[in-house]
Amino acid sequence: MNIDIINTLRAKLDVLQNQTLSGGIVARNLHISDNGSGELTLSGDITITLKVLDLTTNGAPKLSSLMTFTQQVITSKLRGGGYKGGISYFKYNAAKNKFDFHNNQTYSVRYNFNFNINVQQINMLSQLKRNDFVLAVVDSIGHQFTDQYGRRQASRGLTKGQSWPAIVSYNGWIKDKNIGVHEFFHTLGLDDIEDNSKKNRLMYHLGNNTGYSISDLERGDLMEYILGDINNILKKNYSNANIETDSRLKTFLNNPTNGFKYNKAKFR
Ligand SMILES: [Zn+2]
């Protein structure tokens, strides 16, 4: 075949691939380097999109400023990437630019990712793809929990953990602007903190926070989740796998033990 035609086809295929890349995490220009003594450096440009679905009954006039704040905080928390030691994976063969699936090695991994964070509003469920991230805003949350000190606590936000939709109550979000990021970081795999000596942390969830920092360990965990399988670094472009966002959101919102109040007419 004529070389020009091949190149044209190749270019078209690239465009097509880029167009079909969508979801919560889209990574491009991925690159790996191995220092030869147990440290991998992974780099690339990663776009994370969080879709905000307003399910409030009376509207949410402060929504756009809360979204702007949330986008800024996520950007600042992920800036600079992260580092994680003790990751057991397949041995990297730099000459072949492949992982050797017959040999294991424990690596320290440096994540040198550039992040671009988009927090955008959507108006209906059909705007959610299965691998999107979503933060749904409801009127109120009835669910309560007992903390490690035996006290009953109300919930301003709620998730079912890693890869699940995040929910916040609109009034709770106004009272604590950081709750949107807190809930979203559960989606990205972080756990709650109840230790009274860690009130300065974003993931501390008993109210009366004195700060909203994340630790280097948490940053490393976030990076590990965002890349998913380390083998993804060898792909030219990568987007995160199907996490059933649309059906999980339905399941979670409709579970009566969560006690969500929201405008059901908006949820279709
Ligand atoms: Zn939490």
pLDDT tens digit sequence for 148-205: 999 999 999 999 999 999 999 999 999 999 999 999 999 999 999 999 999 999 999 9
CA neighbours closer than 13 Å in the CB half-sphere of residue 1? 7
pTM summary value:
0.91
What number of other Cβ atoms are within 10 A of residue 217's Cβ? 13
CA of 188 to the centre of ligand 1 (A): 12
d(CA 222, CA 199): 20
CA of 181 to the centre of ligand 1 (A): 10
CA of 108 to the centre of ligand 1 (A): 28
Asked if 193 and 206 touch (Cβ cutoff 8 Å), the reply is no
Structure tokens at 261: 């109040």
Name 100's bridge partners.
91
Position 240 scores a pLDDT of 95
Closest CA to 235 of 72, 11, 22, 27: 27
CA of 190 to the centre of ligand 1 (A): 9
DSSP conformational letter for 151: -
Angle value at C-alpha 215, between 211 and 219, nearest 5 degrees: 120
Closest CA to 259 of 155, 120, 182, 176: 155
Residue 17, pLDDT > 90, answer no
CA of 149 to the centre of ligand 1 (A): 16
131 φ/ψ angles, rounded to the nearest 5 degrees: -110, 20
CA of 212 to the centre of ligand 1 (A): 13
CA of 91 to the centre of ligand 1 (A): 36
What number of other Cβ atoms are within 10 A of residue 144's Cβ? 10
CA of 231 to the centre of ligand 1 (A): 30
Asked if 252 and 186 touch (Cβ cutoff 8 Å), the reply is no
Residue 15, pLDDT > 60, answer no
- The helix (run of H) or strand (run of E) holding residue 48 is strand 39-54
CA of 258 to the centre of ligand 1 (A): 14
Query: How much is the mean pLDDT over the chain?
Result: 93
Position 268 scores a pLDDT of 74
Which residues of 78-172 form beta strands (DSSP E)? 82-93, 98-122, 133-138, 140-141, 144-146, 152-154, 157-159, 166-169
Position 90 scores a pLDDT of 97
CA of 173 to the centre of ligand 1 (A): 13
CA of 265 to the centre of ligand 1 (A): 28
CA of 161 to the centre of ligand 1 (A): 9
CA of 202 to the centre of ligand 1 (A): 9
CA of 250 to the centre of ligand 1 (A): 20
Closest CA to 162 of 73, 248, 89: 248
For 75-122, the pLDDT digits (tens) are: 999 999 999 999 999 999 999 999 999 999 999 999 999 999 999 999
